[in-house]
Structure 1
Amino acid sequence: MNSLDLNQLRTFVDVIELGSFSAAAEHRGISQPAVSAQVRQLERRLGVRLIERSGRRAQATAAGQELLVHAQRIAQEVASTLETLLPHREGTHGRIRLGTGATACIHLLPPLLKRLKQRMPGLEITVRAGNTQEMLKQLESNSLDLALVTLPAAGRSLEVIELYQDEMVAVLPLSEAGGLEALDAARFHRQPLILYESAGHTRHLVDRWFAAAGESPKPSMELGSVEAIKRLVGAGLGWAILPRLALPPEGRDAEIEGLPLSPPLMRSLGLVMRRDKRSSRALYETVEALLSLRTC
């Protein structure tokens, strides 16, 4: 009982997940008697029956169901361990799951990820977009490795590094921006407002900016897409407050213009990861790439 055979555990999991000894044998590339022998050896070692037949299908006993949970977790840990060692053998491969907001995904990450892929051609990068709370939940459940999100972000198991200061600006139809400079909250009072959906951190920042001036915004539209808000503003359907990051470098295009807010409003983007995250070259290189964004 001081040790378990990983091959026996893998065989047991295959039998349960595939539903039969023959399917497990085909999957593992060994004979069916060999599969049966491995399961019997595991049962003898543990002193319990693990598998029973229901018709033609092999099913876990109550003890087998308990073992299955731990065996699957062990398999994940073994795979993670081998992945951690892979860069030390080959130096160019790995996998990173990165979460971020849609604006950063579109306007900030592409050149950074391009440079990262040039350094590690075999790096597999999966990017998921969502709001800060969604990203933090996925970090805590370990379904993401890193997140670049609007701060604040808090969690006992999380490490947060502030990276990037992004100015929030008023976004107007180009035809309505002539002669205007910095806009205070009162200038928005009679305008139809098109704002972020209320669940996100960026919207909370905007609401607090209005509240500090004694205003309570009543948006005519709330959307989760910055690009959709820009198009609606360009069509003359309202004014918005968006990150300058979402605008062209000169702050304007053929349909909209970005103007400063008075008083200024900034949002902070930060890198968030689990404190106990196992290090790998893929993780190290991705963190270093994101740290290059640091402006604060």
Structure 2
Amino acid sequence: MRALNLDQLRTLVAIADLGTFAAAAQALHLAAPTVSLHISELESRLDAALLLRGKRGAQLTSAGQVLVQRGRVLLRDADEAIEQVRRHAQGRAGKVRLGSSTGVVVYLLPQVLAMLAQQYPDIDVEVSVLGSKETLARLEAGSLDLGVVTLPLPGASPLQCTPWRSDPMMAYLPADWVVPDAITPAWLADKPLIFNDSSTQMYRHTMSWFGQAGFSPTARIELNFTEAMKSLVVAGYGAAILPLEQEQAPHALGVHEAMQMRPLRPAMRRELVLVHPAHELLPAGALPVLEVLREFAQA
């Protein structure tokens, strides 16, 4: 037996719902002979009478009732499949792999992901918590689609780069320290320090700030989880230099009452950029993710 024709099945369901061939033809924008041909071919294909034709219209046979009942499910599944393919083709669905640092993931990405879930519910963003160096490596290897990384980028890269945010760097200090209104490299260099890992862009950024003033301090500990660094500051273990990743009051940033924040002098900023391959190499869904990320751009 040949496979069912969905157009013919849709015609049968329309007749069952509307009662006549003429009404079905009008609803489906088909010529009357085409509707008749659909039904005759469907009955021939199944070797079963599906409709009883009368003066008052058409009525389903028992076989027709079974086919219409199952046919509604088949047509709904087919329509959903077509819509899913259309969403993928239009970039409104798909899986997008994004890499970024812990601070961005904790403080900035939740807002982005909430907007994406509202505007593009069929786009699944898989987030990996990575340093800038590893994010760039995975992008070039093809195991990530988008990245949020810290400038400067090391060496030449085939990836496309778009400025995203510029956040002030702040000194996070234990509550019992007596500190000036602004923190200079000279004042901070001989204090116990909590740095990002030496392989990270943030470490190089911080050391450049000290280096330009003629200092090269040694960290008491190096680690890459922003909240863990803050917890060590709260415990009095040392001071950390971290970006202020939200424009909110310190208590809204999760800054504990046992920790102080001060601006740096000279001021320093953490520059974040969006990095990705050429648009034609991006998967379905990546462009809407980029669009929403750009809505959160900040100079």
User: Which TM-score band applies after superposition, normalised by the shorter structure?
Assistant: 0.5 to 0.7
What's the counterpart of residue 290 of structure 1? Answer: 293
1:219 aligns with 2:219: yes
Match of 2:186, SS?
helix
1:166 aligns with 2:167: yes
Q: For residues 245-284 of structure 1, what are the alpha-carbon distances to aligned partners after superposition, in whole Å with 9 as ceiling and x for unaligned?
A: 1796337432212100000011100000012543565112
Q: Over the residues paired in the alignment, what is the CA RMSD in angstroms?
A: 2.4
Cα 1:96–1:221, aligned 2, differ >3 Å: closer, same or farther?
same
Which entry has the higher C-alpha Rg, 1 or 2?
A: 2
Match of 1:245, SS?
coil
Matches of 2:166 and 2:211, distance apart in 1 = 22
Contact 1:103 1:246 in 2 (8 A): no
Matches of 1:170 and 1:130, distance apart in 2 = 23
* % identical aligned pairs: 32
Aligned length: 213
Matches of 2:265 and 2:86, distance apart in 1 = 52
Matches of 2:247 and 2:231, distance apart in 1 = 12
Cα 1:243–1:89, aligned 2, differ >3 Å: closer, same or farther?
closer
Scaled by the length of structure 1, the TM-score of the pair is 0.66
Matches of 2:257 and 2:247, distance apart in 1 = 12
Which shifted more, 281-290 or 99-108?
A: 281-290
Matches of 1:97 and 1:132, distance apart in 2 = 15
Cα 1:88–1:127, aligned 2, differ >3 Å: closer, same or farther?
closer
Match of 1:253, SS?
coil
Cα 1:199–1:295, aligned 2, differ >3 Å: closer, same or farther?
same
Matches of 1:287 and 1:274, distance apart in 2 = 12
What's the counterpart of residue 234 of structure 1? Answer: 234
Scaled by the length of structure 2, the TM-score of the pair is 0.66
What's the counterpart of residue 257 of structure 2? Answer: 254
Regions of 4+ moved over 6 Å: none
Q: After TM superposition, give the deviation of residue 191 of structure 1 in Å.
A: 1.2
Cα 1:247–1:236, aligned 2, differ >3 Å: closer, same or farther?
farther
Q: For residues 101-130 of structure 1, what are the alpha-carbon distances to aligned partners after superposition, in whole Å with 9 as ceiling and x for unaligned?
A: 111011100011011011111211100011
Where structure 1 has 5 or more consecutive residues not aligned to the other structure, the ranges are: 1-83
Matches within 5 A, 1:27-106: 86-87=86-87, 92-106=92-106
What's the counterpart of residue 193 of structure 1? Answer: 193
Q: After TM superposition, give the deviation of residue 181 of structure 1 in Å.
A: 0.6
1:149 aligns with 2:124: no
